[in-house]
């Protein structure tokens, strides 16, 4: 098992929450791409009041070689293609596919004597792959591709197949999993299936060929490109970075090897607030590198390991410099095309606008999110998309010399620097020694996708999980799937259900500040709801499963309040990503720093403050309370800890108002994530 390993993710620090615009009637109608060809329909698509997209049935299915039979008497339709027979009726959500009943949420309709069906019909009834790009208003419909490679042969181990599928179905049903999973052993497939929704609004389903952003799994492809160039003698991993990027400060100290192993000492640019302000259409990776150019090294190159996306952006730039073509083209020509990875590519590259599963943030309750920033500005560190099937092709190729010689593969999979106990970092891969096997793995995450590929070397087990959900616990999931294959003990996903709390004072006994290794966990009560807030992060609401056990709907976290025989809380156990953190009661657990001030003080603070261009902090006063609202965000009440200092209850941030010599309020300073961000009063 890999329980001691911390996930290696493409970490994104957010100052602001993400607002989401639903697809509504006024939105542009989507263009349609069918089997990779843009088509022009005589009858345009429709969007109803709920935002569901409807397509003309006959036009599309005839392009897919279906025969259409219409019965005007009962307004029923029969579609036939080879051995497939599909029965549907206008106004009826029940579809019959080869005598099997399937229900869709939006009923087929007639408009101007033409039948229109929702996009979910093509996903559920015709079993087609539906890719959505809500930014570009593009709808891609694909017939599943046939996998001809011998390693896609299904295993004869029906018992293990059934256990794996039963577990994933329970995870979808009980804990809202949505993504695709491929599990194989000894070159035979045990599970290759999509679960949950690729797009919740359109009710389209994830398939084995649904495309997902893969985040930091991108790094292993960038590393392979470097090693291919090394094998050809076009570069050396011991070369100084300055040889290829002359204007990089400290480039004379850092080698390509340091970049590959995260031992460069460079600052991780995705951790900077300035990263969130970048133009998503930027195509120059040097813009990202410039964010950290003037920041001193965090340590001497080679001294230790510190995960850093900047390293792999630079590696991508080196590939482009040496190969004299864009990184996207190099990967396509030298890795994806040779391996028949037809559903893998660079997100939002010149020839691709990345159309796949819709990205979400949340857990039991999810919200769509715009992920373009991380998919366009992480380059060689995290810009790729793929499918579980294409990543399986990649896995199989790594057992051959199809891309590089065995000697080069040995270099890639050597553990050069310690990450944690029993785990080292190679070139774009984590190398772990466990009780079960030698394991090679890497995970990845963007703002709306999480991924992992795990390779058990000796047992020849491959586990690939791709999800369209931010920060899903793919590590624990891959551990469980390996337990099923290895006939080890495992637990089925539990049903998570909220209960009613009868005691109105229970939450009051939990409120306070709890301590662990220099950090605090705040438990907050607000409007009779309970919230948890880790220091430096925003609060999230927690809900009771029992009197002492709570769960979150926004993120995959459980919290247990441990009490003594007097019902006094002695510690709080927070569990996330398969790890437990025990926070203890402190002497200031019940301290309350909020003070009472004369509400007339707020009058001087009311107004607008410019944080950056087009980002305004608006301070208002209502019913003797003071509120702060950032452009495009919700309004929150703030609370005084002095006459000029105010804090949020649900956001770990502080606002300080400053006056000039005449006593006029001239600016505020937002303190958050260890940074001070001034905003001048403009109105």
Residue reference for tokens 């542009």: 28
**521, two tokens:** 């966990």
- Residue 80's closest CA among 103, 62, 92, 101? 62
Identify whether residues 617 and 572 lie together within a single domain: no
User: What CATH number is attached to the domain comprising 615?
Assistant: 2.40.128.50
- Residue 334's closest CA among 313, 353, 355, 319? 319
> Would 376 be classed as within a structural domain?
yes
> Would 147 be classed as within a structural domain?
no
> Would 104 be classed as within a structural domain?
yes
User: What CATH number is attached to the domain comprising 89?
Assistant: 3.30.457.10
> Would 206 be classed as within a structural domain?
no
Identify whether residues 238 and 375 lie together within a single domain: yes
Identify whether residues 367 and 225 lie together within a single domain: yes
Residue 517 is predicted with a pLDDT of 84
> Would 168 be classed as within a structural domain?
no
Identify whether residues 113 and 256 lie together within a single domain: no
- Residue 81's closest CA among 121, 126, 21? 126
Q: What is the mean pLDDT of each run of 10 residues along the chain (683 residues)?
A: 39 27 44 90 86 93 96 95 95 95 94 94 96 80 95 97 98 96 98 97 96 97 98 98 95 98 97 90 95 96 97 98 97 98 92 85 91 94 97 98 98 96 95 87 95 96 96 92 96 92 87 86 87 84 94 91 90 88 74 76 93 85 91 84 84 87 91 80 90
Residue reference for tokens 């695709």: 180
Residue 630 is predicted with a pLDDT of 86
Identify whether residues 317 and 373 lie together within a single domain: yes
Identify whether residues 387 and 438 lie together within a single domain: yes
Domain boundary among 585, 615, 632: 585
Domain boundary among 89, 115, 133: 133
Count of domains forming the chain = 4
Domain boundary among 103, 133, 163: 133
Residue 9 is predicted with a pLDDT of 32
> Would 216 be classed as within a structural domain?
yes
Cα–Cα distance, 354 to 468 (Å, whole number): 13
Cα–Cα distance, 66 to 85 (Å, whole number): 9
Identify whether residues 385 and 510 lie together within a single domain: no
Q: Are strands 430-433 and 188-195 parallel, antiparallel or unpaired?
A: unpaired
> Would 221 be classed as within a structural domain?
yes
Identify whether residues 472 and 563 lie together within a single domain: no
Identify whether residues 429 and 567 lie together within a single domain: no
* 252-264: b (≥16 Cβ within 10 Å) or e: ebbbbbbbbbbbb
Residue 8 is predicted with a pLDDT of 35
Residue 25 is predicted with a pLDDT of 34
Phi, psi (5° rounding) for residue 225?
A: -60, -45
What global pTM score does this model have?
A: 0.84
User: What CATH number is attached to the domain comprising 278?
Assistant: 3.40.710.10
Residue 49 is predicted with a pLDDT of 86
Domain carrying residue 290: 212-485
> Would 301 be classed as within a structural domain?
yes
Identify whether residues 415 and 373 lie together within a single domain: yes
Identify whether residues 251 and 351 lie together within a single domain: yes
Identify whether residues 297 and 423 lie together within a single domain: yes
């Amino acid at each position: 098992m890999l329980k001691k390993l911390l996930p290696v993710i493409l970490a994104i620090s957010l100052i602001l929450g993400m607002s989401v615009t639903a697809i509504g009637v006024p939105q542009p109608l989507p263009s349609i791409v069918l089997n990779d060809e843009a088509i022009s329909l005589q009858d345009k698509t429709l969007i109803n009041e709920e935002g569901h997209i409807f397509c003309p049935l006959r036009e599309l299915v005839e392009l897919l070689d279906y025969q259409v039979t219409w019965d005007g008497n009962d307004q029923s339709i029969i579609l036939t293609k080879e051995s497939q027979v599909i029965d549907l009726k206008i106004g009826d959500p029940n579809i019959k596919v080869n005598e099997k009943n399937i229900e869709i949420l939006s009923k087929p309709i007639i408009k101007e004597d033409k039948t229109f069906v929702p996009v979910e019909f093509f996903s559920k009834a015709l079993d087609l792959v539906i890719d959505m790009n809500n930014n570009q208003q593009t709808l891609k419909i694909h017939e599943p591709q046939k996998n001809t490679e011998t390693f896609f042969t299904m295993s004869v181990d029906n018992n293990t197949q059934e256990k794996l599928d039963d577990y994933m179905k329970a995870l979808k049903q009980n804990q809202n999993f949505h993504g695709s999973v491929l599990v194989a052993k000894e070159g035979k497939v045990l599970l290759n299936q999509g679960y949950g929704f690729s797009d919740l609004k359109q009710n389209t389903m994830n398939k084995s060929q649904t495309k997902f952003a893969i985040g930091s799994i991108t790094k292993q492809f960038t590393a392979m490109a470097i090693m291919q160039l090394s094998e050809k003698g076009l570069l050396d991993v011991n070369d100084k970075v300055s040889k290829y990027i002359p204007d990089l400060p400290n480039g004379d100290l850092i080698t390509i090897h340091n970049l590959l192993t995260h031992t460069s000492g460079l600052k991780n640019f995705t951790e900077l607030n300035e990263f969130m302000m970048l133009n998503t259409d930027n195509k120059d990776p040097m813009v990202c590198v410039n964010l950290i150019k003037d920041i001193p090294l965090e340590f001497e190159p080679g001294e230790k390991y510190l995960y850093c996306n900047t390293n792999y952006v630079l590696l991508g730039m080196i590939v482009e410099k040496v190969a004299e073509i864009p990184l996207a083209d190099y990967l396509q020509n030298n890795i994806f095309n040779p391996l028949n990875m037809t559903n893998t590519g660079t997100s939002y590259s010149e020839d691709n606008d990345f159309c796949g599963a819709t990205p979400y943030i949340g857990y039991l309750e999810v919200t769509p999110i715009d992920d373009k920033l991380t998919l366009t500005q992480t380059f060689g560190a995290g810009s790729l998309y793929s499918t579980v099937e294409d990543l399986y092709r990649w896995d199989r190729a790594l057992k051959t010399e199809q891309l590089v010689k065995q000697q080069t593969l040995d270099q890639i999979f050597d553990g050069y620097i310690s990450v944690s106990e029993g785990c080292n970092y190679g070139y774009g891969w984590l190398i772990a020694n466990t009780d079960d096997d030698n394991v090679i793995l890497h995970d990845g995450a963007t703002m709306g996708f999480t991924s992992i590929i795990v390779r058990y070397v000796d047992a020849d087990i491959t586990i690939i999980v791709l999800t369209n959900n931010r920060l899903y616990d793919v590590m624990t999931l891959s551990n469980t799937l390996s337990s099923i294959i290895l006939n080890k003990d495992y637990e089925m996903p539990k049903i998570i259900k909220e209960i009613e709390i009868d005691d109105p004072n229970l939450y009051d006994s939990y409120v306070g500040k709890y301590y662990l290794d220099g950090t605090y966990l705040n438990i907050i009560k607000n409007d009779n709801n309970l919230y948890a807030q880790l220091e430096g992060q925003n609060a999230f609401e927690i809900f009771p499963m029992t009197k002492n056990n709570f769960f979150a709907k926004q993120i995959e976290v459980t919290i247990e309040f441990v009490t003594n025989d007097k019902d006094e809380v002695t510690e709080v156990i927070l569990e996330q990503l398969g790890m437990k953190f025990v926070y203890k009661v402190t002497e200031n657990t019940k301290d309350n720093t909020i003070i009472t001030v004369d509400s007339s003080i707020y009058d001087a603070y009311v107004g607008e403050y410019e944080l950056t261009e087009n980002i305004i902090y608006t301070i208002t006063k209502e019913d003797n309370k003071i509120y702060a609202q950032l452009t495009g965000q919700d309004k929150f009440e703030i609370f005084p800890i002095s006459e000029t200092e105010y804090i949020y209850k649900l956001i770990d941030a502080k606002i300080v108002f400053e006056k000039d010599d005449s006593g006029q309020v001239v600016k505020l300073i937002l303190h958050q994530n260890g940074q001070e961000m001034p905003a001048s009063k403009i109105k």
